[in-house]
Amino acid sequence: MPAMSRCRVCQHALLEFFDFERQPLSSAFVAPDGTDDEFFFRLAVGMCESCALVQLIESVPPELAHHEGYPYHSAGSSVMTKHFEETARRFIETELTGPDPFVVEIGANDGVLLHTCGEAGIRHLAVEPSGAGTVRVHRAFFDAASAAAILATDGPADVVYSANTICSVPDLRPVFEGLDVLLASDGVFVFEDPYLGEILERTAFDQIYDEHVFFFTVRAVQALAERFGFVLADVERLPVHGGQIRYTVARAGRRTPTPAVAELLAEERELGLTDMATLEAFGRKIQGIRTELVALLHRLRAEGHTIAAYGATAKSSTIANYCGIGPDLVPYVCDTTPAKHGRLTPGSHIPVRPAAVFADPYPDYALLFAWNHAEEIMAKERAFREAGGRWILYVPHVHVV
């Protein structure tokens, strides 16, 4: 019997509901001669029996996770750039209206949000261990010590923001301790991450990979905030990255929760979102999608069709490795990220080629690994369908368009 896994927040037992078995690090694109040194771990998910937080059973050592040269760039998507610009403008109109406001971002990636705030004359700072963007960076993990250092030089923060990062921090206690140090008395902590409700609704199981340690729900985030002396003040559903929630957290007693919090809580209860039966049914759907997708790819290849993949996403690591999709079925994947070119997808070893290769010549079918950017990519690649090409999607079910 393996040692019982415990909730990273409240230490109660985790009830496991799905096991993807041996999986690599989703962003560890490997050099063609480096496939002998890949790191693998058991990718499995469970729910805390007490606080209902859905999370990975095992996590990877943090030094392996967000390393120097991390290949993801949010600004590679025009939709995401617009999303962060609009978020910045919203903060400027609502939370950053005092005499000399200050905004901090944890894990700022390309720095679009802070850059937009900076252009409006707002003091800003990114906090991340390996930041290399264009904005001012405090190079550290966000915790009580780095928060105290920032407080000493810049004063309290009106907004601490984080996108696609909090769900990947295995130990959240230091984050909340840092917030307690740095947030102004009326300040807010706003973070956005994939929503378990959307993942279940669309059977988007490729959101499950090493970097996504937590799969938040309103119920679990409310409990999390209260545990550390904060209150969940607002929730807002976001269409980006396949469906997320933006959570607004304030110091206890400083904000009255908006009706949206109670509404989404009620919806989660009604859906039985954190019932084990629901999560186990999700597991059966995952197996069904694997069976259908693999059968479709084999059939198309047997019929003599060419297939390429589009978007060497972190998410596709789970799809490719769990479904056993390698270069024999899908000989290459096109992607705009220069750091991924000439490398192989982790574990599944599909060569990554520049996006320009896609049209040279077009494959008959394109497996859209970056399905969360479908609208943007299909618009950009309109000529592919016009030339007779077809997209293969596996979210919310396997289909060809």
* Contact footprint for Zn ion (CB under 5 A): 7, 9-10, 12, 48, 50-51, 53
7 binds, among Zn ion, ligand JHZ, none (CB under 5 to 8 A by kind): Zn ion
Count of positions on this chain that bind ligand JHZ (CB under 6 A): 22
* Residue 91, CA atoms < 13 Å, CB-side half-sphere: 34
Q: Using CB under 6 A, which residues numbered 326 to 355 contact ligand JHZ? A: 335-337, 355
Q: Give the one entry of Zn ion, ligand JHZ, none that residue 347 binds, where binding means its C-beta sits below a cut-off of 5 to 8 angstroms depending on kind.
A: none
- Please report how many Cα atoms fall inside a 13 Å half-sphere around the Cα of residue 295, on the Cβ side: 8
CB pairs under 8 A, 24+ apart, for 19-24?
A: 19/43, 19/44, 20/44, 20/208, 20/318, 20/321, 20/322, 21/322, 22/321, 23/209, 23/210, 23/317, 23/318, 23/321, 23/322, 23/347, 24/317, 24/321, 24/346, 24/347
Q: Does 318 bind ligand JHZ (CB under 6 A)?
A: no
Among positions 48, 215, 372, 384, the unique one binding ligand JHZ when judged by CB under 6 A: 372
3-state secondary structure of 82: helix
Q: Which C-beta is closer to ligand JHZ: that of 122 or that of 244?
A: 244
Among 354, 195, 367, 374, CA closest to 293: 367
Quick note: the x/- pattern for ligand JHZ over 150-169, rule CB under 6 A, is --------------x---x-
Window contacting ligand JHZ (CB under 6 A); options: 9-17, 85-93, 148-156, 305-313: 305-313
Residue with tokens 């908006």: 258
Which of ligand JHZ, Zn ion, none does residue 380 bind to, with CB < 5 to 8 Å depending on kind?
Answer: ligand JHZ
In degrees and rounded to multiples of 5, residue 114 shows phi and psi of -70, -35
| Residues linked to residue 162 through DSSP beta bridges, in sequence order | 191
Q: Does 197 bind ligand JHZ (CB under 6 A)?
A: no
Is residue 76 near ligand JHZ by the rule CB under 6 A? Answer: yes
Cis peptide before 62 (omega within 30 of 0): no
Which residue, 290 or 373, is less far from ligand JHZ as judged by CB? 373
**188 binding partner (options Zn ion, ligand JHZ, none; Cβ < 5 to 8 Å by kind):** none
Binding interface with ligand JHZ (CB under 6 A): 72, 76-77, 164, 168, 211, 241, 311-315, 335-337, 355, 370, 372-373, 376-377, 380
